[in-house]
Amino acid sequence: MEFSSEKISSYNLISLNGRLDTITSISFEKYLLNEIESNQSNFILDCKNLSYISSAGLRILLLLSKKVKPLNGEVVLVGLQEQIEEVFRISGFDALFRIHISVDEVINKSNQ
């Protein structure tokens, strides 16, 4: 999996591309923990190019959410493909995260 990040408003927008699984989750977790240590607590994960997420990937997202909540931060997911959205529904993770269609939708709602 590849990922890139950029700052948008008060969020760190991270675009995911490929598979978030046992192998790729290790480097992604290190990156996220480093971002949190650098005082970043609001994340938008753009999942439109995420083709697969394993239980290890779900664990990383749960860890991220637990780390940013005490900092009054949040993790927002956008652009979930149908099969990824189904994994979130089945696992109950759709109740743990705000899920939106686009980055613009998140930014517009946060500015209101």
For the stretch 2-61, pLDDT in tens is 999 999 989 999 999 999 999 999 999 999 999 999 999 999 999 999 999 999 999 999
Q: How many CA atoms lie within 13 A of 77 on its CB side?
A: 22
| Cα separation, 56 vs 38, whole angstroms | 24
Question: Which structure tokens are listed for 80?
Answer: 């979930």
pLDDT at 76 exceeding the cut of 80 = yes
pLDDT at 109: 81
pLDDT at 81: 95
How far lies 75's CA from each of 23, 56, 79, in Å? Answer: 22, 17, 14
Dihedral sign for Cα 76, 20, 87, 16, please.
positive
| Check whether domain 2-103 has CATH 3.30.750.24, yes or no | yes
Q: How many residues does the chain have?
A: 112
> Mean pLDDT throughout 78-97?
95
Which residues are 30's β-sheet partners? none
Global pTM value = 0.94
Q: What is the signed CA dihedral for 109, 38, 61, 103, rounded to 10 degrees?
A: 30
pLDDT band (50, 70, 90) for residue 112: low
Domain locations along the chain: 2-103
pLDDT at 83 exceeding the cut of 90 = yes
